[in-house]
Structure 1
Amino acid sequence: MLKSMTGYGRTKGTITGYQADVEVRTLNSKFLDIQLKLPKNLMSKELEIRSMISESLKRGKVSLAIDLTQDASVESDQVNHELFKRYYKEYTQLALEVGSKTDDLFRLALYSPDVMSSSSLDESVIETQWKELIPVLNDALAACNDFRQQEGASLAKELNTYIENIRTCLEQIVGHDPDRVEVIRERIRKHQQEIESSEEFDKNRFEQEMIYYIEKLDISEEIVRLTNHLDYFGEVMAEDDSQGKKLGFISQEIGREINTIGSKANYAPVQKLVVSMKDELEKIKEQLLNII
């Protein structure tokens, strides 16, 4: 089952004193790249959060944001009241001394250093909040994974279409091969007649070179190998775990066989089919960039 690296998940829940909102976004990346946006009182849990993401999402560029909104019914412990009063009193006195307006002093005092702080939270409270947040976080990661699976199913359909298009072209190449061989033989016969008229003609050497030449133009082995690679690609796509990198390696092998057929074909109808197969393969490679 394929998984896309593009995903989204969002869940909300209640923890001690807060409403929690967890949002996960993922994009394609060669490796696991995690970006976190955490409230101050959860900074100590960064390594644990990264570990949870790594275990669940495996690969991709991951952006995770946790937003905590204090319940209106809970008395705020994030405002240092005494410090706020001291700031406000001092700012008011300074404003009077210089004859300045006092309209914005409330906001200025509120956002002065250490007035808005969660440092007063007890460690035990943070641990309780963390334990309550873990299920919410897991639900967001699971929702993101579900999104990835749905996207992966769509990608799987497209990849199957491209693989079948390559297989159809290959079947047509097999159908053209007898004509291709006959054209090459006729070409060789004409050259043979020209060469045999030469006084320096060496029949034994000519036969050896023709055998070598015909073997170099034989594409039967490439056809067999390419068929096997196409079958194997489908088998890997059907595996339980998403195997984006493995599919990438198989697509490289498919490309090698297609290129070899193209270089050996020496026949216009086959060359056209080779171009079509290369076009389908490029589509496959483009889609594989977004597979885990």
Structure 2
Amino acid sequence: MTGYGRATARTERYEITAEVHSVNHRYLETSVRLPRSFSYLEGKIKEQVQQAVSRGKVEVALTMQSIGSKDTTVEINHDVVMAYLRAVAAENELLRESGLPKNQIVLGTAGSESGGATDALPLSTLLRIPDAFQVQQVAEDADVIWSEVQPVVTEALQQFVTMRQTEGERLAADVASHLENLESMTNRVEQLVPETVQQYYDKLYKKITELLGDRTVEESRLVTETAVVAEKIAVDEELVRLHSHIAQFRGFLESTEPTGRKMDFLVQEMNREVNTTGSKSQSLEITKLVVDMKSEIEKIREQIQNIE
């Protein structure tokens, strides 16, 4: 079943946003997207989803926006910077020995004859050196972070579940209308089966009478033949089971527990009973009803894919 939920919260260190959405799926499949540094939260979030959802392809997206820089330190990578400076110094020495024009980067002391360069490396040059800075995250307590994240995920899941419940009520009403149509058709088939047997008897009697002319029709043979046909086209058991399935299905619609998979199985059973009824039928009207009954069952099957 589709659904969506979103929640945000602001703590002393983070601005936290959690989004939950899902699409139809036969089983529960959960995926979590979150910052790499907080990957240890994935298992806890999946466990929380499993407690609230039993069916659907659910995706949870968590963002953690840091507030301030208390948890982040930036240090100069002295080894890298010194390696660059040594390389520049070596190049300058090589240029002096060769007599070629000097490099634009000159190392010296303030006010020296070398061009007035200072001991300090210009910030603009330092920022252009790859890996000159090291960014480190201060280690955080996982339990503390989870205590801040959990309420946000819980609120998003609550919104998500509420939306799914609203949609589920509409789906239940639609499925109930199809069940009502199916039951009405089932009742009509029950009325038509005896009529079909009588129609066969009358048709057989008329045909035999035409063939025998004035001779007496043997009533017992006619009744026996009709009984054989009635046995072949009897669908009493199938219709009783179909009524039972419909009643059980209505019980599932009123249940507060997840019943989507049970409905899947029950739809297969209803379809089997209707197919058997159609294969035994020798009535055009019953055959037409069977086609309509299968159509209603298919509509139910499509809808329960969205039911948890």
**Which residue does the alignment assign to 1:256?**
272
CA distance in 2, matches of 1:58, 1:246: 13
- Residue 130 of structure 1 corresponds to which residue in structure 2? 146
Partner SS for 1:123: coil
- One-letter amino acid of the structure 1 residue matched with residue 163 of structure 2: F
The runs of 5 or more residues in structure 1 that have no matched partner are none
Is it true that 1:57 corresponds to 2:53 in the alignment?
yes
Contact 1:15 1:133 survives alignment (8 Å): no
Alpha-carbon distance change, 40 to 209 in structure 1, aligned in 2, over 3 angstroms: same
Give the direction of change, closer, same or farther, for the CA distance of 1:285–1:114 in structure 2 (3 Å limit).
farther
Query: Structure 2: which amino acid aligns with 1:17?
Result: R
**Structure of greater relative contact order (alpha carbons < 8 Å, 6+ residues apart):** 1
- 1:232 to 2:228 alignment: no
Equivalent-residue separation in structure 2 for 1:15 and 1:84 (angstroms): 35
- Residues 250 and 114 of structure 1, relative CA distance in 2, 3 Å threshold: farther
Q: Is the counterpart of residue 38 in structure 1 residue 34 in structure 2?
A: yes
Deviation at 1:157, TM superposition (A): 0.9
- Determine the C-alpha separation between the residues in 2 that align with 1:218 and 1:33: 45
**Structure 2 CA distance for partners of 1:203 and 1:169, relative to 1, 3 Å:** closer
SS in structure 1 of the partner of residue 72 of structure 2 = coil
Residue in structure 2 matched with residue 78 of structure 1 by the alignment = 72
- 1:13 and 2:29 are equivalent in the alignment: no
Partner of 2:20: 24
Structure 1 residues 55 and 187: CA distance shift in structure 2, 3 A: same
Within 5 A, what are the aligned runs for 1:1-292? 5-71=1-67, 74-78=68-72, 80-83=74-77, 115-117=134-136, 120-124=137-141, 126-190=142-206, 210-292=226-308
Shift in Å, 1:113: 9.8
State the TM-score, normalizing by the size of structure 2. 0.75
Once the two structures are superposed, what CA deviation does each residue of 1:193-246 show, in whole Å capped at 9, x if it has no partner?
68989xxxx999987665333211122332222112111110111111120011
Write out per-residue CA displacement over residues 30-82 of structure 1, whole angstroms, 9 at most, x where no aligned residue: 222121111233212222222111122122111111101122xx235335242
> CA 1:191 to 1:134, structure 2 compared with 1: closer, same or farther past 3 Å?
same
Task: Name the % identity.
Answer: 29
Q: Which has the larger radius of gyration?
A: 2
* Number of the residue aligned with 2:110: none
Change (3 A) 1:282 1:104: farther
Mark the CA change 1:175 to 1:204 in structure 2 (over 3 Å): closer, same or farther.
Answer: closer
> Residue 140 of structure 2 aligns to which amino acid in structure 1?
E
SS in structure 1 at match of 2:302: helix
CA distance 1:75–1:165, shift in 2 (3 Å): same
Change in 2 beyond 3 A, CA 1:206/1:169: closer
Contact 1:7–1:147 (CA under 8 A) maintained in structure 2? yes
Q: Cα 1:192–1:278, aligned 2, differ >3 Å: closer, same or farther?
A: same
2: distance between equivalents of 1:98 and 1:204? Answer: 122
Contact between 1:258 and 1:277, CA under 8 Å: does it hold in 2?
yes
Normalising to structure 1: TM-score of the pair?
0.79
Quick one: structure 1 residues 114 and 77, their matched pair in 2 at CA, closer, same or farther if it must change by over 3 Å?
farther
What's the Cα RMSD here? Answer: 3.6
1:196 & 1:290 partners in 2: Cα distance? 62
Query: Does the 8 Å CA contact 1:16/1:128 hold for their aligned counterparts?
Result: no
Change (3 A) 1:208 1:86: same
Q: In 2, Cα distance between the equivalents of 1:25 and 1:208? A: 65
- Could you give the per-residue CA deviations for residues 116-156 of structure 1, whole angstroms, max 9, x where no partner exists? 55xx22232x4312112111111111211111111111110
- Give deviations 1:162-215, integer Å, cap 9, x for gaps: 111111222332343343222222233356568989xxxx99998766533321
CA distance in 2, matches of 1:139, 1:232: 34
Give the count of matched residue pairs.
Answer: 273
CA deviation after TM superposition for structure 1 residue 108, in Å: 8.5
